């Protein structure tokens, strides 16, 4: 059983990243961003961010340049399909 800050025993869960373990291990292919095509990387300022908006697992950062957390990316490929500049491609895991 967990404990609260007041040391009372309780059946309460605490929030944490990676509840299901390293979900990156589920992937069969991984996304790669081409900085030559990505609008954010090319303009070097906040723009577009559609991959961040549509990522179901919130593993894409809203930063310049965009980064993907490979530890937890499940490899669904939505970012590659949604990218208007076709800057993301899915590469098969070895």
Partner 1 sequence: MKTTAVNLTEKEYALPGNRTCPGCALSLAYRHILKALEGQAIVTVPPSCLTVLHGMYPITSVTVPCVNTPFASAAASATGLLAGLKALGREGPTVVAVAGDGGTYDIGIQALSAAAERQTDFLYICYDNEGYMNTGNQRSGSTPLGAISGTTPVLGKQQNPKDIVAIMEAHGIPYVATANASYPLDLYEKVKKARAIRGTRFIHVFSPCPPGWSFPFNNTISIGKLAVEIGWVILYEVEDGVFRLTSASESIAKQGNLKPLREYLGQQGRFRNITEEQIEALQRWVNARWKRCLDRAGN
Q: Which residues bind partner 1 (CB under 8 A)?
A: 2, 11, 13-23, 26-27, 46-50, 52-59, 62, 69, 71-72, 74-78, 80-82, 90
CB of 35 to partner 1, least distance (A): 19
Q: For residue 80, what is the enclosing H or E element?
A: helix 78-82
Least Å distance between CB 37 and partner 1? 17
For residues 27 and 93, the answer to whether their CB atoms sit within 8 Å is yes
Residue 41 vs 52, nearer CB to partner 1? 52
Task: Please state the closest distance from residue 36 (CB atom) to partner 1, in A.
Answer: 21
Which backbone phi and psi does 39 adopt, to 5 degrees? -60, -40
Measured over the CA atoms of residue 23, residue 28, residue 31 and residue 32, the dihedral's sign is positive
Whether the upstream peptide bond of residue 65 has omega within 30° of 0, thus cis, is yes
At closest approach, how far in Å is the CB of 1 from partner 1?
8
Alpha-carbon 67 to chain mean position: 8
Taking the least distance from each CB to partner 1, the nearer of 37 and 89 is: 89
Of 27 and 33, nearer to partner 1 (C-beta) is 27
């Amino acid at each position: 059983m967990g404990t609260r800050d007041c040391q009372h025993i309780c059946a309460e869960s605490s929030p944490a990243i990676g509840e299901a373990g390293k979900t990156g291990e589920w992937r069969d292919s991984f996304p790669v961003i081409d900085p030559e095509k990505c609008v954010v990387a090319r303009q070097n300022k906040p723009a577009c961010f559609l991959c961040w908006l549509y990522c179901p697992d919130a593993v894409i950062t809203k930063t310049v340049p965009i980064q993907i957390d490979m530890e937890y990316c499940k490899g669904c490929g939505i970012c590659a399909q949604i990218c208007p500049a076709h800057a993301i491609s899915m590469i098969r895991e070895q």
